[in-house]
Amino acid sequence: MDGAAGAVRGGLAPADAVRAVPGFWTGGRRIERACYAVGGLLMLGGLFHLLVFAVDGGPWTGPVSWRKPVTFGLSFGLTLITIAWVSSYVRLGERARRVLLGVFAADCVAEVALITTQAWRKVPSHFNMETGFDTLVTRLLAAGGAILVITLVSLTVAAFRANPGTAPSMRLALRAGFAALMLALASGAAMIARGVAEAQGGHQQAAYHVAVALKPAHFVTMHAVLVLPALAWLLTFTGLTEGRRVRTVALATSAYGVVAAAVIAVSAVRFAAG
């Protein structure tokens, strides 16, 4: 079935969607392309450390594991690519866009680099205050987290500004995704604050234990900003009217919200009990 026929029947035209993907690079701004490239490299770094784990072995779970450079490389890389993409639909001045995306990209690289360094040193990357260098890394990671919050909050505020140049379905997806992202930042801040408090109180193992409880909530809210806008974008390759696209995105947002609320509730109970 060709793209036109798919559109007439109201179904997704996969070939058209696949052909449109390179346009993100060729039609993107220079700062967006830079973020795509850096994000890709971070993800490749994560995959490289998966090979390191396969060769070197060791535990997959726990504070000292090759899992951390793998998951953080993949997660930060994907998040950087996502934020660069969705920000193209957000009404921003070009200078503000360059600054926000540039700072965000640099911070993603720094966070992954610090975590990876500690993995190669065979010591925990978070809540580790055993030596002066470890304490410095912990503080730098916390500072980097604060920078992430500032840049993402700024983009969230921009996403809620009036933007007639973006289709209503995409605006809804962006706003819902960024709102969920704020919850992810809140859970991340709670993990850091509780973990640092436990570590400073001499309970380093407890710091790792309580932080793990909020990870599911952090994960499910972190990636709504990719899932929902991706759905809105895919709907443009169907024959649906914009009104039906809005209703479809609204339904998906509601379903995602219900699942996220359930995960958050369970995680919050475990976090409080920890």
Q: Where are the domains of the chain?
A: 22-165, 167-274
Give dist(CA 158, CA 152) in Å, integer: 10
In this prediction, residues 79-90 reach a mean pLDDT of 96
Rounded to the nearest integer, the mean pLDDT of the chain is: 89
CB 127 within 8 A of CB 211: yes
Poorest-confidence range of 49-53, 54-58, 202-206, 240-244?
202-206
Higher-confidence residue: 212 or 41? 41
Confidence label for 143 from pLDDT (cuts 50, 70 and 90): very high
In this prediction, residues 55-71 reach a mean pLDDT of 91
3-state secondary structure 167-224: CHHHHHHHHHHHHHHHHHHHHHHHHHHHHHHHHHCCCHHHHHHHHHHCHHHHHHHHCH
Say what the pLDDT of residue 4 is.
37
What residue type is 224 in one-letter code? A
Give dist(CA 70, CA 268) in Å, integer: 26
pLDDT value at 11 more than 90:
no
Confidence label for 2 from pLDDT (cuts 50, 70 and 90): very low
Give dist(CA 121, CA 84) in Å, integer: 32
What residue type is 150 in one-letter code? I
In this prediction, residues 104-132 reach a mean pLDDT of 93
Over the range 117-142, which residues count as b (16 or more CB within 10 Å of their CB) and which as e? ebbeeebbbbbbbeeeebeebbeebb
Poorest-confidence range of 108-117, 136-145, 185-194?
185-194
The pTM for the full model equals: 0.89
Say what the pLDDT of residue 9 is.
47
Say what the pLDDT of residue 223 is.
92
Q: Any idea of the CA torsion for 239, 248, 156, 104, to the nearest 10 degrees?
A: -60
Higher-confidence residue: 41 or 128? 41
CB 86 within 8 A of CB 225: yes
Say what the pLDDT of residue 8 is.
38
Structure tokens at 103: 């700072």
